[in-house]
Amino acid sequence: MKKRIEVIESYIEQEHLYLAAQPFEAEIQEIRDAAQMITDSDNLSFIYIIDVNDQFVYVSVPEKNWSHLKEALDREYGVYLKLNNHTLQLESFLDELRYLIENIEGNANYGEKMVSAVEEIFLAREDES
């Protein structure tokens, strides 16, 4: 089973988006960007994958943080994960997010709630139902 941690706070500072995650339970020897994003439609989250101590860790970015994601996307800000006492640049975050948004738009495979939320926040569409 993959380890999952949640972003508990997001903020923009000096043209960078920071995602502050809940603490990682083990001491971090090595942390790397795995440069991949998936979705968790049931929990309305984007999941960015990182490698911590040679173990894949899912970083969940729930809907409450999406307005900051949208701003970072629109303004091409760098995205950084703050995990314990580490700050990791997520170099592929915006590209991965763009790709998923394009795939989610109008795609019922992601579930109605996910499609509606993504379209409303990232594509400025109101729910038309």
Show the DSSP H helices in 2-128 as ranges.
Answer: 66-75, 93-104, 112-122
CA distance 71 to 56: 27
Range of the domain at 63: 3-122
pLDDT at 2: 78
- For residue 57, is pLDDT > 70? yes
pLDDT at 1: 57
pLDDT at 129: 44
**Would you say residue 23 lies in a domain?**
yes
**Would you say residue 128 lies in a domain?**
no
Stretch 76-92: mean pLDDT, rounded? 97
User: What's the structural domain count of the chain?
Assistant: 1
**Would you say residue 15 lies in a domain?**
yes
**Would you say residue 74 lies in a domain?**
yes
pLDDT at 125: 60
Please report where in the chains the tokens 């763009």 appear, as a residue: 98
**Would you say residue 31 lies in a domain?**
yes
**Would you say residue 75 lies in a domain?**
yes
CA distance 70 to 43: 18
CA distance 9 to 78: 16
CB 64 within 8 A of CB 18: no
pTM for the full predicted model:
0.92
**Would you say residue 89 lies in a domain?**
yes
